[in-house]
Chain A
Amino acid sequence: LAKTTQPISMDSYEGQEVNITCSHNNIATNDYITWYQQFPSQGPRFIIQGYKTKVTNEVASLFIPADRKSSTLSLPRVSLSDTAVYYCLVGDSNQAGTALIFGKGTTLSVSS
Chain B
Amino acid sequence: EPEVTQTPSHQVTQMGQEVILRCVPISNHLYFYWYRQILGQKVEFLVSFYNNEISEKSEIFDDQFSVERPDGSNFTLKIRSTKLEDSAMYFCASNWSQETQYFGPGTRLLVL
Among B32-65, those with CB < 8 Å from A are 33, 35, 42-45, 48, 50, 55-56, 58
* B50-A97 in contact (CB<8A): yes
* A43-B56 in contact (CB<8A): no
Give the number of residues in B that approach A within 8 Å (Cβ atoms): 29
Report A14-48 CB contacts with B as 1/0, cut-off 8 Å.
00000000000000000000100010011111100
B104 / chain A contacts, CB cutoff of 8 Å: 43
Asked if B75 CB lies within 8 Å of chain A CBs, one says no
The B contact surface, by secondary structure, is strand
* B98-A44 in contact (CB<8A): no
Asked if A101 CB lies within 8 Å of chain B CBs, one says yes
Give the A-B contact count at a CB cut-off of 8 A.
59
Among A62-104, those with CB < 8 Å from B are 87, 93-104
B56 / chain A contacts, CB cutoff of 8 Å: 97-99
A38 / chain B contacts, CB cutoff of 8 Å: 43
Q: Complex formed: what's the CA distance from A1 to B94 in Å?
A: 20
Partner of A46, one of B44, B91, B101, B108: B101
* B106-A45 in contact (CB<8A): no
* A43-B48 in contact (CB<8A): no
The A contact surface, by secondary structure, is loop
Asked if A49 CB lies within 8 Å of chain B CBs, one says yes
Closest-CB distance, B4 to chain A (whole angstroms)? 8
Closest-CB distance, A81 to chain B (whole angstroms)? 17
* B106-A102 in contact (CB<8A): no
Q: Complex formed: what's the CA distance from A95 to B95 in Å?
A: 12
Closest-CB distance, B84 to chain A (whole angstroms)? 20
Closest-CB distance, B104 to chain A (whole angstroms)? 6
* A99-B100 in contact (CB<8A): no
**CB within 8 Å of B: which residues of A?**
34, 38, 41-46, 49, 87, 93-105
**CB within 8 Å of A: which residues of B?**
4, 30-31, 33, 35, 42-45, 48, 50, 55-56, 58, 89, 91, 93, 95, 97-106, 108
